[in-house]
Structure 1
Amino acid sequence: MRELLRDVLLLQREWSWKNTPAMQKRGRLIHGGVADWLREQLPVLKRDAPVELDDWDVEARDATGNKSVVPWARVYSASRSDSATKGWYVVYLFGAQGDSVYLSLMQGTSEWQNGEFKRRPLEGTRLRAQRAREVLSARLRARPDLVEQITLKAPKHTLGPAYEAGTVAAFEYSLDALPSEEVLRDDLIFLASVLSHLYDIAPVVGLADDVAPEIVDALVEADRSAGKARRGQGFRLDSAERIAIERRAVAVATEYLTGEGYDVTDVGATESYDLDARRGEQRLYVEVKGTTTVWTSASEIILTKKEVELHLREYPNNMLLIVSSIVLDRSATPPSASGGELQVIHPWRIVRPNLTPLSYRYLVAE
């Protein structure tokens, strides 16, 4: 494997988007050399991972149409990351200038749009990586030689910056100091074991899916109401878990508003908003949303028709409070929730182009 990594890095210095002889050789090394070596390690990964997984797999890519600036080969669970654009995995990333290669624990960082891969917003990708580092910190500290940031030296318009943002932790191997076969194998086994642990805890800490469970639930229910079966539902919440998250979000929101001097009444059971907040002559209609996922500027919430109507009508005397990164404890009966990070939007103007209908009621009339 050491020689394979060296040869790919040397060919990186001859990179071209065209299928030149050097790039053809690079492709053979990535797909037939590096990927094959990774497949040989799968029985060991399956045996040594602390969380049992039966669907370890390997994928490699060096081109999507044009030759990629940063080729890669990854190890993953087929059920938890059925595409390199989704979920978490361990991957070899080759520096664009051929000076280093990284074995990285990272996430899907792009989406397939209009015949090419488009990177997701870097802010959200970084936040998810940071959240993963936090929940994995005890395990990652066992290897002080890990780095939290990688430098692929790829052009800004490529996927290289997204790969950098999406990395949780990585082993860095420079061309001039590539480690032995034994070290490469041990490093792979270690990161794969961390990955298996992340797969196990991801649903609890809000890192299971790129789409929040609340959004998945709404999409599934909309399809079900229309008589459709939705595949690939990802992680969903049951009623007890939803209640725990909602109660935690309302508690965090109430504490914030009380600290701001408001008298707060929970009206969620009877009104189309959650909290009635009053301070002197001021009255606010407050919407509260809770989620286990990491919040970013590209995140989404679910609103009912009545909620939309109310907040359009009451603006600017309204507020949106989002409590993200709530920790759900399923070991308790019923489940409990704790933590949470608060985002405050006040006043909250609903922008109609940002609303996406999930389903329609249609009157069938002749």
Structure 2
Amino acid sequence: MNLDDYLKYVLDNYLTAKKQPIKGNSVAKTIRVIALKVIPAYILHSEKIVKGSVGQGNWAEVPWLAIMNESVTSSATQGYYIVYLFASDGSGVYLSLNQGYTYYTDEYKKKSPKAKVKIVSDYWRNNLVSLDDNKTFSIDPINLKSSNTGGLPEGYELGNICSKWYSLTELDNIDNTELISDLTKLNVIYDELVNKLEGDFAKKNESIIYEKMNNADETLIESTVVGNDSLPEVVSVPKNVRIRSDKKGAGQTSKVDHVAKHVEQVAIGKKGEEIVLKFEQERLKSDERLQNKVSEIKHVSKEKGDGDGYDIESFMVDENTNEIKPLYIEVKSTTSNLTTPFIMSKNEIDVSETYGESYVIYRLYIGEVKNKLYKIFNPFIRTDRIATQFKVWPK
């Protein structure tokens, strides 16, 4: 059985075999065992191994045949490898340069693993010279026709760096020599990637993600879904807020995922400002004195950046003089709870002192179902503060 025969065998027999118990199944055994014999030895070298999988204990929705460099990985759950991924409906197979998605879900858990694997996939698409020179492979997303959202098939789709699709019909008309030629070309790209890892895929991944996050773009931020978009309920300022100590006892350590924390904070901040912007538009519309000012509301941080010390410039009515005045709003958003202290920069504190009662903190809680908001006017005199950082230089 050559590679062409093997790929067609899996597509022709797998869906039927899945209706039977996996234990002792002849199709399952063939897929696992024959996988070791269909890849030419000159592709494998001394460091590469071949594995075929139909699942462990239960049938996999997407079976695969993988070629792995053992200096990087010997498991489809982590690292980088070449893999044939069979569509769950039996319509065809992808030849893919891929990476183990389970590594991201284990390493980052709920801290945006999908955003991180996308960063790494995009990085390699833009930094592999042999991929750029080779027009055989597509960098478009792959679709394994899975209905299992969040499962392993989605992980394979997210981990894909480049691929080539062979439909079942195309395989009937492709010579085995062409399949091996494509595999050889992808092997060159894989070898380039392995060399650029310098032996440690995890450190390289972390470096790629960290560098990207220091220059976070809109696509990445928007991929971090936070709470809901409903207008917030205005609540009273909480009383007796306690400051939790961040000090740890002797021997205690805390591993902080700074990249995930930064992504989350940026996403929360962006969403919070958009919610408050809509809140202000509705607030002004509901006040006859301010209705004609709605179109003049400015999203300052979006238009000019953070240098002005506030995010939104809106309007308020001075209840003593009935005069319409600017209202300078700094949005402080959280998904924790409204009693959580927030951070203000020195610039924000200075600006709040300058504007006094025309400067307000909108402390926004973004919940899964309901959002809440409280306001602190003139926070320079109505908040307590402690220093959390120090500028340090040698004596």
TM-score (ref. length: structure 2): 0.48
- Structure 2 residue aligned with 1:180, among 175, 183, 205? 175
Distance (Å, rounded) in 2 between the aligned partners of 1:121 and 1:140: 25
Contact in 1 for aligned 2:4/2:176 (Cα 8 Å): yes
Write the deviation string for residues 96-143 of structure 1: whole angstroms up to 9, x where unpaired.
1111111100001115999xxx9x93222222111111111x322333
CA RMSD across the alignment: 4.1
In the TM superposition, residue 213 of structure 1 has moved relative to its aligned partner by 9.9
Identify if the C-alpha distance between structure 1 residues 15 and 147 changes in structure 2 by more than 3 Å, giving closer, same or farther: farther
TM-score (ref. length: structure 1): 0.51
Contact in 2 for aligned 1:87/1:209 (Cα 8 Å): no
Q: Find the counterpart in structure 2 of residue 143 from structure 1.
A: 134
In the TM superposition, residue 176 of structure 1 has moved relative to its aligned partner by 0.3
In the TM superposition, residue 18 of structure 1 has moved relative to its aligned partner by 4.9
- SS of aligned partner of 1:8: helix
- Structure 2 residue aligned with 1:192, among 184, 187, 191? 187
- SS of aligned partner of 1:63: coil
Q: Find the counterpart in structure 1 of residue 71 from structure 2.
A: 79
What are the residue-to-residue correspondences of 1:320-359 with 2, within 5 Å?
none
Distance (Å, rounded) in 2 between the aligned partners of 1:11 and 1:113: 32
Q: Find the counterpart in structure 1 of residue 26 from structure 2.
A: 25
Q: Find the counterpart in structure 1 of residue 85 from structure 2.
A: 93
Distance (Å, rounded) in 2 between the aligned partners of 1:206 and 1:76: 13
Write the deviation string for residues 295-317 of structure 1: whole angstroms up to 9, x where unpaired.
xxxxxxxxxxxxxxxxx9547x9
Higher helix share: 2
Letter in 1 for 2:164: F
In the TM superposition, residue 19 of structure 1 has moved relative to its aligned partner by 2.0
Contact in 1 for aligned 2:97/2:163 (Cα 8 Å): yes
Write the deviation string for residues 194-216 of structure 1: whole angstroms up to 9, x where unpaired.
1111111135998755555999x
Write the deviation string for residues 178-204 of structure 1: whole angstroms up to 9, x where unpaired.
121111111111111111111111359
Letter in 2 for 1:58: V
Letter in 1 for 2:138: V
Q: Find the counterpart in structure 1 of residue 222 from structure 2.
A: none
Contact in 2 for aligned 1:92/1:102 (Cα 8 Å): yes
- SS of aligned partner of 2:54: strand
Identify if the C-alpha distance between structure 1 residues 313 and 190 changes in structure 2 by more than 3 Å, giving closer, same or farther: farther
Contact in 1 for aligned 2:22/2:57 (Cα 8 Å): no
Contact in 2 for aligned 1:90/1:195 (Cα 8 Å): yes
Distance (Å, rounded) in 2 between the aligned partners of 1:113 and 1:206: 16
10-19 vs 140-149, greater mean Cα deviation: 10-19
Question: Are 1:202 and 2:197 matched, yes or no?
Answer: yes
What are the residue-to-residue correspondences of 1:38-49 with 2, within 5 Å?
38=39, 41-46=40-45
Identify if the C-alpha distance between structure 1 residues 156 and 124 changes in structure 2 by more than 3 Å, giving closer, same or farther: farther
Structure 1 residues without counterparts, runs of 5 or longer? 47-53, 216-225, 227-258, 263-275, 284-311, 319-366
Identify if the C-alpha distance between structure 1 residues 277 and 11 changes in structure 2 by more than 3 Å, giving closer, same or farther: farther
Higher strand share: 1
Structure 2 residues without counterparts, runs of 5 or longer? 211-250, 252-304, 309-344, 353-384, 391-395
Q: Find the counterpart in structure 2 of residue 130 from structure 1.
A: 122
Q: What is the percent sequence identity of the aligned residues?
A: 24
Give the number of aligned pairs.
222
